[in-house]
């Protein structure tokens, strides 16, 4: 007698190839409209599913999990970050949580370097000028930005992505500095010629470019607070491809407007999809719609990870990408 397929609820539209494979393997409910689920829809999903496949747009908090049915045993997150899931409540209810690490590392690191270049060389301003029809030709003083070669880059969070950013930065001639909860292996430090700063405050005061690459956890919420941002020198560019909540966005906006920072490159926002209207008015800020990991290859790789995690779990084994705790 064929084994009953597990009930899987997917909260957002995934690549066609991944959805097709899911349909072959599991009893799947898909979200073909690709609209984020409402709270009531999420409650209905956790009541009926054996496996939930959410994304970062779904807040799976204690209130949602309190209404989960006894069947729900796995939350196979489509994405690396899990700050939208109440891990403690999931754990207390015996629900395993998995994510999709590693596959987004290179894509996000590429976007970080793109924002470093875009912000410091004023690429967004140049593109707007050209499209406006107001460009009158080359000028010795036209749209002058700043060279990144020889500058100091301070990386906050030297995990997989931070390390990948450091490798790229070294190739561009940047001096690599980092702050992390734990010092990286000496061989990695030697390879990257990276300088470790135990004190984040001291590092911030001495950098030319700051890149946020740590996850959002209770410990990193507003890690770049108004107090810490004031330690930064006025010629600095701040780049964030991690999570918006790591930076006090209102404080950052005030400093950018006042000229206390040279500029910023932001792919994430504290209250996204809402963006501080004042940021939208500034020429010295490059703004992207959370597309740091948005490559076709990356999205397919994420889906493959989800499939493996579900299939392994259903077969009675420990999924390879179980989320065990915080990392910074």
pLDDT tens digits along 88-106 = 999 999 999 999 999 999 9
Terminal CA-CA length for the chain = 47
Give the model's confidence band at 4: pLDDT under 50 very low, under 70 low, under 90 confident, else very high: confident
d(CA 290, CA 271): 12
d(CA 57, CA 297): 21
Do 105-287 and 7-103+295-314 fall under one CATH topology? yes
Q: So what CATH class is 105-287? A: alpha beta
pLDDT tens digits along 254-274 = 999 999 999 999 999 999 999
pLDDT tens digits along 120-139 = 999 999 999 999 999 999 99
d(CA 199, CA 194): 15
Residue 53 pairs in a beta bridge with: 10
User: Considering the chain, what percentage of its residues have pLDDT values greater than 70?
Assistant: 98
Q: Would you state the pLDDT for residue 324? A: 82
Q: Would you state the pLDDT for residue 90? A: 96
Mean pLDDT value across residues 233-240:
98
Whether pLDDT at 1 is above 50: no
Q: Would you state the pLDDT for residue 34? A: 87
Whether pLDDT at 313 is above 50: yes
Give the model's confidence band at 208: pLDDT under 50 very low, under 70 low, under 90 confident, else very high: very high
d(CA 86, CA 129): 45
Mean pLDDT value across residues 42-46:
96
What CATH architecture does domain 7-103+295-314 belong to?
3-Layer(aba) Sandwich (3.40)
Mean pLDDT value across residues 291-314:
97
pLDDT tens digits along 59-70 = 999 999 999 999
Whether pLDDT at 181 is above 90: yes
Whether pLDDT at 225 is above 50: yes
Q: How does the average pLDDT of the chain come out, rounded? A: 96
Whether pLDDT at 7 is above 80: yes
User: Considering the chain, what percentage of its residues have pLDDT values greater than 90?
Assistant: 96
d(CA 198, CA 182): 9
Give the model's confidence band at 277: pLDDT under 50 very low, under 70 low, under 90 confident, else very high: very high
Q: Which residues are catalytic?
A: 243, 272, 290
Q: Which two tokens stand for residue 248?
A: 């006090």
Q: List the domain boundaries for the chain.
A: 7-103+295-314, 105-287
Question: pTM score, two decimals?
Answer: 0.90
* DSSP per-residue codes, 95-144: -EEE---STTHHHHHHHHHHHHHHHHTTHHHHHHHHHHT---S--TTTT-
């Amino acid at each position: 007698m064929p084994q009953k397929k597990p009930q899987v609820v997917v909260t957002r539209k995934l690549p066609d190839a991944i959805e097709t494979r899911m349909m072959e393997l599991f009893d799947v409910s898909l979200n073909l409209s690709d609209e984020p689920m409402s709270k009531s829809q999420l409650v209905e999903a956790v009541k009926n599913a054996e496996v939930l496949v959410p994304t970062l747009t779904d807040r799976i908090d204690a209130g949602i999990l309190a209404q989960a049915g006894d069947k729900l045993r796995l939350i196979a997150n489509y994405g690396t970050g899990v700050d939208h899931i109440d891990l403690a409540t999931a754990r207390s209810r015996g629900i395993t949580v998995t994510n999709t690490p590693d596959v987004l590392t290179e894509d996000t690191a590429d976007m970080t370097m793109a924002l470093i270049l875009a912000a410091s060389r004023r690429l967004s301003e140049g593109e707007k000028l050209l499209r406006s029809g107001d460009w009158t030709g080359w000028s010795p003083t036209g749209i002058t930005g700043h060279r990144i070669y020889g500058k100091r880059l301070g990386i906050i969070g030297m995990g997989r992505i931070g390390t990948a950013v450091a490798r790229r930065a070294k190739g561009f001639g940047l001096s690599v500095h980092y702050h992390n909860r734990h010092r990286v292996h000496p061989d990695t430090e030697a390879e990257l010629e990276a300088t470790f700063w135990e004190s984040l405050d001291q590092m911030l005061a001495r950098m030319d470019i700051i890149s946020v690459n740590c996850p959002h956890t209770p410990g990193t919420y507003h890690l770049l607070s108004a107090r810490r941002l004031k330690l930064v020198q006025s010629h600095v560019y701040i780049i964030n491809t991690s999570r918006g909540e790591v930076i006090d966005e209102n404080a950052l906006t005030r400093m950018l407007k006042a000229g206390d920072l040279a500029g910023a490159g932001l792919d994430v926002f504290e209250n996204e999809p809402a963006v501080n209207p004042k940021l939208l008015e500034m020429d010295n800020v490059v703004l992207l719609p959370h597309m740091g990991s948005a490559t076709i290859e990356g999205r397919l790789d994420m889906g493959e990870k989800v499939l493996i995690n579900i299939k392994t779990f259903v077969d009675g084994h420990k999924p390879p990408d179980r989320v065990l705790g915080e990392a910074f």
